[in-house]
Amino acid sequence: MVLNDSQMRQETAASDLAIELRGISKAFGPVQANKDISIRVRRGTIHGIVGENGAGKSTLMSILFGFYRADSGEIFINGKPTEIPDSESAIRAGIGMVFQHFKLVENFTVLENVILGAEDSGLLRPSLARARGLLKDLAREFELNVDPDALIEDLSVGHQQRVEILKALYREADILILDEPTGVLTPSEADHLFRILKGLKEQGKTIILITHKLREIMDVTDEVSVMRRGEMVATRVTAETSPTELAELMVGRKVLLRVEKPPAQPGAEVLRVESLRHVDSQGVERLRGISFGIRKGEILGIAGVSGNGQSELLEVLAGLREAEGKVLLDNEALPLSGAGCDGQARRARRIAHVPEDRQRRGLVMNFHAWENIALGYHHDPRYNPSPWRMNNAAILRDTTGKMEAFDVRPPDPQLKASGFSGGNQQKLVLAREIEYEPDLLLVGQPTRGVDIGAIEFIHQRLIRLRDAGAAVLLVSVELDEILALSDRIIVMFDGRIMGERMPDETNAQELGLMMAGMA
């Protein structure tokens, strides 16, 4: 076969590419998740992929890992055209994937998980021995140390993630894809992960890092590709770009990465919490004596790695869990158990709640937008002209107004909650809770899974509510968010308050140490 000149050039260029995708398209029904995507990932580099939720990052990686088949386009692995009809072929082609939600068997040991599905024979002993040796080498080389005999359920999230990486390496992956790997990690665990990734890169492995955190992109990647609405809009050398440019590329317009916030004008104390204790249904003590207060016109941020009691604190205050201790709202006790301790009673005391898990708690996914606007407010006399009739038309009218005020798109009150994007679902919940004009707003993870454009909007709304004189209790695992919004910060670790800081007198490092229980 005779190659012409341009083909020759392409071949040489292709030889240092670990992955090349050409013209990948994939549609789900009417939704074009990936549109004619081409990307080249050089061998031995860390390549970031950023984009808003729903930009098509996960679809693209799922195609690469054989979960979906592209409608059209070609995949080249190490310069060779490769068909990837299933994940087995992806693994054979040297691709390993670390999912956002780990795929581990909780009651298996680390070793058992590592060999699961890659056993050499019907007997486990030889595979386990081989894996044990390999794990020892990898631990030495890359700081990938985990106890091979520990059960997964006993490991921290950071260690579980290492097991996922070990699984991929055991299968001799040359190309490692990580999907939002730091979402569940503390800052120091994230740093450790990045050291591991850099070590792997030096060994010649290729790493694709999917994230929406621009700081991580700037810190560890060599090159970065930006996706927007199913299209690949740009690829940049990381050293030659900036977070601002990347954010603009992602959203397609200029965005404020940090909202403007006038100084707080705190008033009288609204909420007083004294030695609050909570034991969950498993008998684990989640809150071990929490005391704090919030004043009018103030945003109190609660920082902490998820699972250290913040969620429980929020739900106790919202009346969804029973607890012991004392909580005063405007100097009047809030019942912490029995009658008067439920969502309805809390709303009657003008406490509104934006729950952490909007899809499970905050919304009924199968209800129309207008039905969701009544959720929790279904006793409102405006919606109930008589006990025998709910005025659906009034709710519908109200919904139209709230959707407009909060720029929910599409502004269709008849659309089911599941039909909105994450950001718009969250705006729906916020519209319902903020328009109630509460004295105290409890907010959990207001921008989890929300795209950058919507984050800006949501932050502005929370600040506006504060400036209108409400108290806001903000629980977030995103340190950037806590730092950007809070007027005061308390850090929780293992059900206790580790300390209180003012946002302009602290930094992510200090808070990170406190979150890890080390200060």
Helical H segments across 179-274, by residue range: 187-202, 214-220, 243-251
Residues whose CB is less than 8 angstroms from the CB of residue 22 and which lie 6 or more positions away in sequence, other chains included: 38, 73, 74, 75, 76
Q: Which is nearer to another protein, 119 or 380 (CB)?
A: 380
Minimum CB–partner distance for residue 215 and another protein (Å): 28
Return the axis-axis angle of helices 187-202 and 157-170, rounded to nearest 10°.
Answer: 20
> 30 — phi, psi (to 5°)?
-80, -10
Q: Which of 99, 292, 367, 436 binds another protein (CB under 8 A)?
A: 367
Helix axes 422-434, 392-405, angle to 10 degrees: 110
Question: Nearer Cβ to another protein, position 17 or 364?
Answer: 364
CB 420 within 8 A of CB 53: no
The DSSP string of 129-174 is HHHHHHHHHHHHHHS----TTSBGGGS-HHHHHHHHHHHHHHTT-S
Question: Out of 1, 5, 12, 29, which residue is the one contacting another protein (CB under 8 A)?
Answer: 29
| Smallest gap from residue 364 Cβ to another protein (A) | 5
Q: In this complex, which beta carbon is closest to another protein, that of residue 140 or of residue 379?
A: 379
Please say which residue, 56 or 297, places its beta carbon nearer to another protein: 56
Site string for another protein, 296-335 (x = CB under 8 A): ----------------------xxx---------------
The residue among 31 and 502 lying less far from another protein, judged by its C-beta, is 31
> How far apart, in whole angstroms, are the C-alpha atoms of residue 516 and residue 519?
8
Which residues within the stretch 204-223 sit at the binding site for another protein (CB under 8 A)? none
Q: Which is nearer to another protein, 298 or 356 (CB)?
A: 356
Give dist(CA 492, CA 348) in Å, integer.
29
Candidates 87-95, 283-291, 302-310, 365-373: pick the segment binding another protein (CB under 8 A): 365-373
Of 178, 162, 226, the C-alpha closest to 64 is: 178
> How big is the site for another protein, counted in residues (CB under 8 A)?
43
- When binding is defined by CB under 8 A, the residue of 17, 124, 218, 375 that contacts another protein is 375
Stretch that binds another protein, among 16-24, 29-37, 80-88, 483-491 (CB under 8 A): 29-37
3-state DSSP assignment of residue 18:
strand
Residue 431 contacts residue 405 (beta carbons within 8 Å) = yes
The contact mask relative to another protein for 41-70 (x = CB under 8 A, - = no) is: -----------------xx--x-----x--
262 interacts with another protein by CB under 8 A: no
**Which candidate, 161, 65, 58, places its Cα nearest to that of 104?**
161
- Cβ 363 to another protein, closest distance in Å? 7
Can you tell me which residue has the tokens 């693209």? 60
Is residue 85 part of the contact set for another protein (CB under 8 A)? no
Interatomic CA distance for residues 368 and 390, integer angstroms: 15
Q: Is 312 or 456 the residue whose CB approaches another protein more closely?
A: 312
Q: Which is nearer to another protein, 87 or 156 (CB)?
A: 87
- Indicate the residue among 109 and 391 with the shorter CB distance to another protein: 391
For residue 208, give Cα distances in angstroms to 45, 48, 191, 398.
8, 6, 17, 46
What is the C-alpha separation between 37 and 170, in angstroms, rounded? 30
From candidates 28, 100, 130, 414, binder to another protein by CB under 8 A:
28
Q: In what order do the strands lie in the sheet with 17-28?
A: 31-42, 17-28, 72-77, 80-81
Binding mask 88-127 for another protein (x = CB under 8 A): ----------------------------------------
Looking at residues 378 to 397 of the shown chain, list those that interact with another protein (rule: CB under 8 A). 378-379, 383-384, 387-390, 392
Instruction: Name the residue nearer to another protein (CB basis): 183 or 230.
Output: 230
Of the candidate residues 134, 139, 328, 364, the single one contacting another protein (CB under 8 A): 364
Contact by Cβ (8 Å): 177, 96? yes
Tokens standing for 23?
Answer: 């013209």
- Residue closer to another protein by CB (options 269, 342) is 342
Asked if 345 interacts with another protein (CB under 8 A), we say yes
User: Considering only 158-166, 367-375, 402-410, 479-487, which stretch makes contact with another protein by CB under 8 A?
Assistant: 367-375
- For the bound state, the minimum distance from the C-beta of residue 378 to another protein, rounded and expressed in Å, comes to 5
Please state the φ and ψ torsions of residue 75, each to the nearest 5 degrees. -120, 130
What residues make contact with another protein under the rule CB under 8 A? 27-31, 33, 58-59, 62, 68, 318-320, 342-347, 353, 355, 357, 360-367, 371, 374-376, 378-379, 383-384, 387-390, 392
